[in-house]
Amino acid sequence: MYQRLPSNVDIPAYLENVRMDRWSQAMATVRADCPMPGTIGRVCVRPCETHCRRSRLDAPLAIRAVKRFLADEEMAAKLDAETPPPPAKTGRVAIIGAGPAGLSCAYYLGQQGYRCTIFEAQEGPGGMAAYGIPSYRLPRQVIAHEVAMVEKQGAEIRYGIKVGEDIHLDELLGKGYGAVFLAVGAPESSKMRCEGEDAGYRCFMTGVNFLAEAARGRTPLTGKRLVVIGGGNVAMDCVRTARRIGFDDVNLLYRRTEAEMPADPQEIEEAKEEGVHFHHLVAPVSIVADGEEITGLKCQRMELGEPDASGRRRPVPVQGSEFVIDCDTIIPAVGQVCVVDCVLPEEDALTPWKTLVVDQTTFQSEASHIFGGGDCVTGPATLIKALAAGKHAARFIAEYLEAGQCTPRPIDLLRKWITPDTVGDAQETFAYPGQTLRAHPEIMAPDVRIGSFDEVEKGFSAAQARVEAARCLRCYRLMLSAI
Ligand SMILES: Cc1cc2nc3c(=O)[nH]c(=O)nc-3n(C[C@H](O)[C@H](O)[C@H](O)COP(=O)(O)OP(=O)(O)OC[C@H]3O[C@@H](n4cnc5c(N)ncnc54)[C@H](O)[C@@H]3O)c2cc1C
């Protein structure tokens, strides 16, 4: 289940413990495989729920919300699920990037007795979880709590150090680090391929820069009419953040239809409730400006053609359909790219997309002491994949420090083989109806929530978490008996 359930958290076990009110044990199970449960419990893209067998009966379990319940209990200091780090072993690891992948690697190396130093370019930790995802989805105190847990495992984080500029990787290696874990993410915005995007207009800013500035508490852009281009979660975060910093007229342009949008459907719905105007089957062509000031965006209508490599129907321009949307502010949010070459210039270590080449099982690169994981290996992906990469890599880094090499175990190969399989039978039907409906967390009303960056979604109460956990069909019993 490596790709489908990247972190291999024992979900049935923690659900069973929640059902039985054994919350500390439940949390210990979660922490064994996921070091940022409060983050994941709020903003995970939920691959586990997509594969939950209960969806064939009525609706998948609210696994994410149950995890969040545990994390909230832990933050309120009501649980005792923490494992103190063992005595330090010889061999220190340098981690580049304090995003989810780097933090996860440090956490699990700490649990194996290895102390880490994390070098982070920004002034704070969390990577895109902190400088991308807005606080109305993921409050900053949650990240702070989870980073503190990583530090308790013996990790030291040094901020404001950009490896490749302030210090070079070779220098680090000369300072006694036995191995390096590269976790530098996918920080740069992709180009829209729209005329004028590099002209330096005053109210033009990439989505990741806009969100990072807003996360620092600044008002990065002002204007009357904003256009955001893109259909993913970053675009949703931009339009919803824009509503919160005072833009009244916020427009989202996407070149396919809503059905093809990669953003979480809940995000799309909440953006609509917040008054964002959606324009589908529209692509930007060129920016219209008067001097440095943007006055509009020339666009073209699209229609859907044959499916492309992603399996989604390709947008095809409709000839003669150009038109101009009046606007004074533009934010492109069409994807991110990796720049691992800024840290590791060796060309043969990288793909043409500037991602690091590593072994898919051990996360080890061609240079045996350099490992890597997260977005800088996969390209822009998800939090749970980045956390999983950090966790799996930590095991192999420890092995490398101890034995000088990494040897996958049969379970690693088994995981690869069963990756294409789904959980259970997709055609399965049940002879009885579901009796307990999926619980839904309370959501703040749209007119209230656009007035601040307060968290939109509330957590489950203990009673809700217990009832939800009891909806589990306990498929693990079937799965274990099948092995
Ligand atoms: C706006 C936005 C919203 C998202 N929403 C979701 C969501 O809802 N759910 C979800 O699952 N995923 C979401 N993602 C994706 C998720 O945030 C990423 O997949 C995840 O953060 C990747 O983790 P990472 O550690 O690999 O990289 P990052 O989080 O990018 O962290 C990399 C870290 O390395 C640091 N760094 C980079 N270069 C250097 C250097 N040279 N020296 C030192 N430090 C360096 C960076 O400053 C950063 O702190 C979102 C992403 C964005 C941008």
Domain boundaries, the chain: 11-82+416-469, 92-186+338-407, 192-333
Confidence (pLDDT) at 122: 97
Backbone angles phi, psi at 286, to 5 degrees: -155, 155
How much of the chain is in helix, strand and coil states, percent to nearest 5?
A: 35, 20, 45
Decide whether 92-186+338-407 matches 192-333 in CATH topology: yes
Strands (E) in 133-273, as ranges, are 156-159, 177-182, 188-189, 225-229, 249-254
Q: At what angle do helices 63-75 and 140-152 cross, to 10 degrees?
A: 70
Evaluate: CB of 162 within 6 angstroms of ligand 1: yes
What is the reported pTM? Answer: 0.95
Confidence (pLDDT) at 80: 66
Nearest CA to ligand 1 atom 35: 97
Strands (E) in 206-354, as ranges, are 225-229, 249-254, 277-280, 282-290, 293-307, 313-317, 323-326, 329-332, 336-337
Query: What whole-number distance in Å separates Cα of residue 461 and Cα of residue 466?
Result: 9
Q: Considering only the top CATH level, what class is 92-186+338-407? A: alpha beta
User: Which class for 270: exposed (0-12), middle (13-18), buried (19 or more C-beta within 10 A)?
Assistant: buried
Token output for 131 = 């400088």
Contacts of 290 (CB under 8 A, 6+ apart): none
Evaluate: CB of 167 within 6 angstroms of ligand 1: no
Beta strand pairing call for 156-159 and 116-120: parallel
210 CA → ligand 1 middle, Å: 15
Nearest ligand 1 atom to alpha carbon 187 = 30
Confidence (pLDDT) at 480: 45
pLDDT per position in the chain (483 positions), as tens? Answer: 334 467 889 999 999 999 999 999 999 999 999 999 999 999 999 999 988 989 999 999 999 999 999 999 999 987 766 778 888 998 899 999 999 999 999 999 999 999 999 999 999 999 999 999 999 999 999 999 999 999 999 999 999 999 999 999 989 888 889 999 999 999 999 999 999 999 999 999 999 999 999 999 999 999 999 999 999 999 999 999 999 999 999 999 999 999 999 999 999 999 999 999 999 999 999 999 999 999 999 999 999 999 888 788 899 999 999 999 999 999 999 999 999 999 998 888 999 999 999 999 999 999 999 999 999 999 999 999 999 999 999 999 999 999 999 999 888 888 777 765 566 677 888 888 888 999 999 999 999 999 999 999 999 999 999 999 999 998 865 554 444
374 CA → ligand 1 middle, Å: 8
Q: CA end-to-end span of the chain, whole Å?
A: 14
Given its phi and psi angles, is residue 37 left (phi above 0), alpha (psi -120 to 50 degrees) or beta? alpha
128 CA → ligand 1 middle, Å: 3
For residue 161, what are the CA distances in angstroms to 124, 150, 167, 297, 302? 11, 19, 7, 38, 44
Evaluate: CB of 285 within 6 angstroms of ligand 1: no
Evaluate: CB of 374 within 6 angstroms of ligand 1: yes
Residue among 373, 39, 412 nearest 30 (CA): 39
Nearest CA to ligand 1 atom 37: 184
Evaluate: CB of 377 within 6 angstroms of ligand 1: no
CB 33 within 8 Å of CB 104: no
Per DSSP, the chain holds a count of helices (H) and strands (E) of 18, 15
Nearest ligand 1 atom to alpha carbon 375 = 26
Pocket-testing residue among 45, 128, 378, ligand 1, by greatest number of atoms within 8 A of Cβ: 128
Could you say which architecture CATH assigns to the domain 192-333? 3-Layer(bba) Sandwich (3.50)
Nearest CA to ligand 1 atom 17: 128
Nearest ligand 1 atom to alpha carbon 374 = 26
Dihedral through CA 44, CA 379, CA 410, CA 478, nearest 10? 30
Pocket-testing residue among 383, 384, 455, ligand 1, by greatest number of atoms within 8 A of Cβ: 383
Dihedral through CA 439, CA 7, CA 190, CA 122, nearest 10? 100
- Side-by-side strand order, sheet with 249-254: 277-280, 249-254, 225-229, 329-332
CB 54 within 8 Å of CB 472: yes
Nearest ligand 1 atom to alpha carbon 339 = 38
Nearest CA to ligand 1 atom 52: 132
CB 377 within 8 Å of CB 358: yes
Nearest ligand 1 atom to alpha carbon 342 = 41
